[in-house]
Amino acid sequence: MRYLMLGAAVALMAAPLSANPTTCGHGTKLDFVDSPKEAAALAKKEQKLVLVLHVSGHFEDPGLT
């Protein structure tokens, strides 16, 4: 029982990460996946559109976007 509860707690803590394990915001409010290819595959699966940013500069620069 103790192990079961421990397992459930671990699963709950890990849930938000495992739902979308590869996204990163790079200091923004957007969730970025690693590559446009990955974005396309995920978009097709989730029936969404794809947003691709082409950048020359630092994301952290306040004037960039």
Partner 1 sequence: MGALNNAEVGKYCNEYFVSSYQKVATFKIVGAQKQGGNVAAYFCAPDGRVLHCVAGPVDAQTFLREAKWVVETTKTCMKESVGKDGKMDGAKFKEQFRKAHAEKLRQEFGIVVEAVTYDPPEAMDEKDALTYRDPTGRPLAPKLPPPPINGPDVTLTEAKFEAMQKNAAAAPGNRVAVDGKGRRVVVTNQSLVHQIMAAHSMVPIERVYGSVFENILGEKISTKPVDVVKPFTWVDKNGNRLRPEK
Binding site for partner 1 (CB under 8 A): 26-36, 38-40, 42-44, 46, 48-65
Whose tokens are 């509860």? That residue is 5
Signed CA dihedral, 23, 25, 30, 35: sign only: negative
> Would you say 4 or 19 has its CB closer to partner 1?
19
Q: Which is nearer to partner 1, 14 or 50 (CB)?
A: 50
Rg of the chain, C-alpha, whole Å: 17
Report the residue number, 2 or 21, with the smaller CB distance to partner 1: 21
Query: Minimum CB separation from partner 1 for residue 43, in Å?
Result: 4
Is residue 55 within 8 A of residue 64, CB to CB? The reply is yes
